[in-house]
């Protein structure tokens, strides 16, 4: 059975055509809407590379049915900042040398945005726990934690 429905993605309505009911949000974002920033690594909810926000909650896009997200606010890595104007989190990852590969970094950025929305001054333990769902075997997470802490400090400085 094919369906036509509308998702609300990054502030815009996006029609999804010729989709099957069982397609994941990750699949629809990438393959039907051309939003390639969210990555599919494990596609089993284990790695966090597909992290997106739905109604301000961080979720694994590979575990969510796209058709089930109708009527909810979806934000992807493409929607957190304008092109050419990185968010403070993205800039901090660059400044701290925390950018990893193209698979894990988008999810780490999304998870950091989510964490700092809920906890503006997270402890190192809290950061490690929050990012534990974003798996990268290639880092000790030290620079990533540094990046998160830089954003927290900077935001406190301007508030």
Task: Candidates 44-52, 84-92, 121-129, 143-151: pick the segment binding ligand FES (CB under 6 A).
Answer: 44-52
Residue in 29, 33, 47, 75 binding ligand FES, rule: CB under 6 A: 47
C-alpha span between 103 and 106 (Å, rounded)? 7
Residue in 10, 27, 28, 40 binding ligand FES, rule: CB under 6 A: 40
Tell me the sheet residues that pair with 83. Answer: none
CB neighbour class for 87 (10 Å; exposed up to 12, middle 13-18, buried from 19): middle
The string over 21-31, giving b where at least 16 C-beta atoms fall within 10 Å of a residue's C-beta and e elsewhere, is eebbbbbbbbe
Examine residue 92 and tell whether it contacts ligand FES (CB under 6 A): no
Examine residue 99 and tell whether it contacts ligand FES (CB under 6 A): no
Residue in 48, 79, 106, 122 binding ligand FES, rule: CB under 6 A: 48
Residue in 49, 90, 112, 114 binding ligand FES, rule: CB under 6 A: 49
Cα 136 to Cα 22, 34, 36, 98, 144: the distances in Å are 28, 25, 19, 12, 11
Examine residue 101 and tell whether it contacts ligand FES (CB under 6 A): yes
Q: Give contact residues for ligand FES (rule: CB under 6 A).
A: 40-43, 45-50, 60, 62, 100-101, 103-104, 136-138
């Amino acid at each position: 059975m094919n369906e036509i429905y509308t998702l609300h993605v990054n502030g815009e309505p996006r029609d999804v055509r010729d989709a099957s009911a069982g397609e994941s949000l990750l699949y629809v974002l990438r393959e039907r809407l051309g939003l390639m920033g969210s990555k599919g690594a494990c596609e089993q909810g284990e790695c966090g590379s597909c992290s997106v926000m739905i109604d301000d909650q961080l979720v694994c896009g590979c575990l969510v049915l796209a058709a089930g997200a109708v009527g909810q606010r979806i934000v992807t890595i493409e929607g957190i900042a304008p092109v050419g104007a990185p968010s403070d989190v993205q800039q901090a990852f660059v400044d701290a040398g925390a950018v990893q590969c193209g698979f894990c970094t988008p999810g780490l950025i999304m998870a950091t945005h989510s964490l700092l929305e809920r906890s503006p001054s997270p402890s190192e333990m809290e950061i490690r726990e929050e990012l534990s769902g974003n798996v990268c075997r290639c880092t000790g997470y030290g620079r990533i934690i540094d990046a998160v802490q830089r954003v927290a400090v900077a935001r406190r400085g301007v508030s």
